[in-house]
Amino acid sequence: MDGPPGNDCCAICHGHFNIACQANCSHWFCGDCIMLVWHHGSVLQPCKCPLCRRQITLLVPGEASLRERNDPHVAEVLGKIERYNHLFGGNTSSLVQRMQDLPFLLRRLLREIMDPQRSLPVVIKMVLSAVYIISPVDIIPEGILGIVGLLDDLLIVLICFLHVAAIYRSVLYYRHGGS
Protein backbone atom coordinates (compact mmCIF):
# COMPACT_ATOMS: atom_id res chain seq x y z
CA MET A 1 0.00 0.00 0.00
CA ASP A 2 1.59 3.27 -1.13
CA GLY A 3 -0.84 5.30 0.91
CA PRO A 4 -3.36 5.00 3.70
CA PRO A 5 -6.66 3.18 3.14
CA GLY A 6 -9.14 5.38 1.33
CA ASN A 7 -11.84 5.17 3.99
CA ASP A 8 -9.46 5.81 6.90
CA CYS A 9 -8.61 9.06 8.70
CA CYS A 10 -5.72 10.30 10.81
CA ALA A 11 -6.01 9.02 14.38
CA ILE A 12 -4.65 12.30 15.74
CA CYS A 13 -6.67 15.01 13.94
CA HIS A 14 -9.52 12.71 12.78
CA GLY A 15 -9.42 14.37 9.37
CA HIS A 16 -8.35 13.28 5.90
CA PHE A 17 -4.66 12.49 5.64
CA ASN A 18 -2.48 15.46 4.81
CA ILE A 19 1.06 14.42 3.86
CA ALA A 20 0.40 10.86 4.95
CA CYS A 21 3.22 8.82 6.46
CA GLN A 22 3.32 5.29 7.82
CA ALA A 23 5.05 4.44 11.08
CA ASN A 24 7.01 1.23 11.64
CA CYS A 25 4.00 -0.07 13.59
CA SER A 26 2.00 0.11 10.30
CA HIS A 27 -0.31 2.93 11.42
CA TRP A 28 -0.83 5.97 9.17
CA PHE A 29 -0.78 9.60 10.32
CA CYS A 30 -0.66 13.08 8.86
CA GLY A 31 2.97 14.19 8.71
CA ASP A 32 2.17 17.40 10.63
CA CYS A 33 0.20 15.51 13.28
CA ILE A 34 2.85 12.93 14.11
CA MET A 35 5.53 15.64 14.19
CA LEU A 36 3.35 17.56 16.71
CA VAL A 37 3.09 14.42 18.84
CA TRP A 38 6.88 14.11 18.75
CA HIS A 39 7.45 17.78 19.61
CA HIS A 40 4.86 17.62 22.39
CA GLY A 41 6.93 14.93 24.12
CA SER A 42 10.67 14.79 24.36
CA VAL A 43 12.42 15.64 21.10
CA LEU A 44 15.44 13.70 22.36
CA GLN A 45 13.72 10.34 21.96
CA PRO A 46 11.31 8.82 19.46
CA CYS A 47 7.62 9.31 20.08
CA LYS A 48 5.18 6.49 20.74
CA CYS A 49 2.36 5.59 18.41
CA PRO A 50 -0.88 7.18 19.67
CA LEU A 51 -2.75 3.97 18.78
CA CYS A 52 -0.57 1.05 19.89
CA ARG A 53 2.02 2.85 22.07
CA ARG A 54 4.96 1.24 20.25
CA GLN A 55 8.03 3.37 19.77
CA ILE A 56 8.11 4.93 16.31
CA THR A 57 11.63 4.56 14.94
CA LEU A 58 10.85 5.03 11.25
CA LEU A 59 8.33 7.15 9.33
CA VAL A 60 7.77 6.39 5.66
CA PRO A 61 5.95 9.08 3.64
CA GLY A 62 3.27 7.91 1.23
CA GLU A 63 3.97 8.02 -2.50
CA ALA A 64 1.42 10.82 -3.02
CA SER A 65 3.26 12.98 -0.46
CA LEU A 66 6.57 12.39 -2.20
CA ARG A 67 5.10 13.45 -5.56
CA GLU A 68 4.06 16.80 -4.05
CA ARG A 69 7.59 17.61 -2.85
CA ASN A 70 7.57 20.90 -4.83
CA ASP A 71 4.92 22.41 -2.54
CA PRO A 72 6.77 24.43 0.15
CA HIS A 73 4.59 23.16 3.03
CA VAL A 74 4.95 19.53 1.92
CA ALA A 75 8.71 20.00 1.54
CA GLU A 76 8.90 21.44 5.07
CA VAL A 77 6.99 18.52 6.61
CA LEU A 78 9.00 15.96 4.62
CA GLY A 79 12.15 17.70 5.88
CA LYS A 80 10.95 17.24 9.47
CA ILE A 81 10.22 13.56 8.78
CA GLU A 82 13.70 13.15 7.27
CA ARG A 83 15.21 14.75 10.38
CA TYR A 84 13.18 12.42 12.61
CA ASN A 85 14.33 9.39 10.60
CA HIS A 86 17.90 10.62 10.72
CA LEU A 87 17.73 10.84 14.51
CA PHE A 88 15.87 7.60 15.25
CA GLY A 89 15.62 5.47 12.13
CA GLY A 90 19.17 4.30 11.61
CA ASN A 91 19.09 1.14 13.64
CA THR A 92 16.82 -0.52 16.10
CA SER A 93 18.57 -1.33 19.31
CA SER A 94 16.72 -4.34 20.65
CA LEU A 95 15.76 -7.72 19.30
CA VAL A 96 12.20 -7.14 20.56
CA GLN A 97 11.93 -3.95 18.45
CA ARG A 98 13.28 -5.81 15.42
CA MET A 99 10.74 -8.61 15.88
CA GLN A 100 7.93 -6.05 16.22
CA ASP A 101 9.03 -4.26 13.05
CA LEU A 102 9.31 -7.52 11.08
CA PRO A 103 5.67 -7.70 9.82
CA PHE A 104 5.70 -4.03 8.73
CA LEU A 105 8.99 -4.35 6.88
CA LEU A 106 8.19 -7.70 5.25
CA ARG A 107 4.77 -6.45 4.01
CA ARG A 108 6.37 -3.36 2.45
CA LEU A 109 9.19 -5.45 0.99
CA LEU A 110 6.76 -7.93 -0.53
CA ARG A 111 4.84 -5.06 -2.16
CA GLU A 112 8.08 -3.68 -3.58
CA ILE A 113 9.15 -7.09 -4.86
CA MET A 114 5.82 -7.46 -6.67
CA ASP A 115 6.25 -4.00 -8.23
CA PRO A 116 7.95 -4.45 -11.63
CA GLN A 117 9.61 -1.01 -11.38
CA ARG A 118 11.58 -1.88 -8.23
CA SER A 119 15.03 -3.41 -8.00
CA LEU A 120 15.80 -7.00 -9.06
CA PRO A 121 18.65 -7.74 -6.56
CA VAL A 122 16.17 -8.06 -3.68
CA VAL A 123 14.27 -10.73 -5.63
CA ILE A 124 17.52 -12.58 -6.30
CA LYS A 125 18.41 -12.53 -2.56
CA MET A 126 14.99 -13.86 -1.63
CA VAL A 127 15.22 -16.66 -4.21
CA LEU A 128 18.68 -17.66 -2.99
CA SER A 129 17.43 -17.72 0.61
CA ALA A 130 14.50 -19.94 -0.42
CA VAL A 131 16.82 -22.30 -2.33
CA TYR A 132 19.05 -22.60 0.74
CA ILE A 133 16.10 -23.37 3.01
CA ILE A 134 14.68 -25.96 0.58
CA SER A 135 18.05 -27.61 -0.03
CA PRO A 136 18.81 -30.96 1.65
CA VAL A 137 21.82 -29.53 3.54
CA ASP A 138 20.87 -29.44 7.22
CA ILE A 139 22.62 -28.84 10.48
CA ILE A 140 20.08 -31.08 12.24
CA PRO A 141 18.84 -33.73 9.76
CA GLU A 142 15.10 -34.43 9.77
CA GLY A 143 15.67 -38.10 8.87
CA ILE A 144 17.41 -38.79 12.17
CA LEU A 145 15.58 -36.53 14.60
CA GLY A 146 12.18 -36.20 12.90
CA ILE A 147 10.24 -33.02 13.68
CA VAL A 148 13.07 -31.70 15.87
CA GLY A 149 15.16 -31.58 12.71
CA LEU A 150 12.91 -28.81 11.41
CA LEU A 151 14.11 -26.49 14.15
CA ASP A 152 17.28 -25.55 12.27
CA ASP A 153 15.22 -24.75 9.17
CA LEU A 154 12.85 -22.60 11.20
CA LEU A 155 15.77 -20.84 12.85
CA ILE A 156 17.37 -20.17 9.46
CA VAL A 157 14.05 -18.82 8.13
CA LEU A 158 13.75 -16.49 11.13
CA ILE A 159 17.34 -15.29 10.72
CA CYS A 160 16.79 -14.74 6.97
CA PHE A 161 13.61 -12.75 7.64
CA LEU A 162 15.35 -10.63 10.28
CA HIS A 163 18.31 -10.05 7.96
CA VAL A 164 16.15 -9.13 4.97
CA ALA A 165 14.00 -6.86 7.16
CA ALA A 166 17.13 -5.13 8.51
CA ILE A 167 18.44 -4.57 4.99
CA TYR A 168 15.08 -3.26 3.83
CA ARG A 169 14.83 -1.00 6.90
CA SER A 170 18.19 0.54 6.01
CA VAL A 171 16.98 1.04 2.41
CA LEU A 172 13.87 2.85 3.71
CA TYR A 173 16.03 4.84 6.10
CA TYR A 174 18.36 6.07 3.36
CA ARG A 175 15.47 6.65 0.96
CA HIS A 176 13.48 8.75 3.48
CA GLY A 177 15.92 10.72 5.52
CA GLY A 178 19.24 9.01 5.94
CA SER A 179 22.49 10.68 5.09
DSSP state letters, 124-166: HHHHHHHHHHHSS--SS-HHHHGGGGHHHHHHHHHHHHHHHHH
pLDDT band for 133, please (50, 70, 90 cuts): low
* pLDDT of res. 93: 60
Give me the phi and psi of 156, to 5 degrees please: -65, -40
C-alpha span between 79 and 95 (Å, rounded) = 29
* Reported pTM: 0.61
**Spans of all domains in the chain:** 20-175
User: Given this model, what pLDDT does residue 77 score?
Assistant: 92
Q: What is the mean pLDDT of residues 19-36?
A: 92
* Model confidence pLDDT, tens digit, residues 61-101: 888 777 888 889 999 999 999 888 888 876 556 677 777 77
Burial classification of residue 86, based on how many CB atoms lie within 10 Å of its CB (0-12 exposed, 13-18 middle, 19 or more buried): middle
Looking at residue 8, its amino acid is D
pLDDT exceeds 90 at position 104: no
Is it the case that residue 106 has pLDDT exceeding 60? yes
How confident is the model at residue 128, as a pLDDT? 63
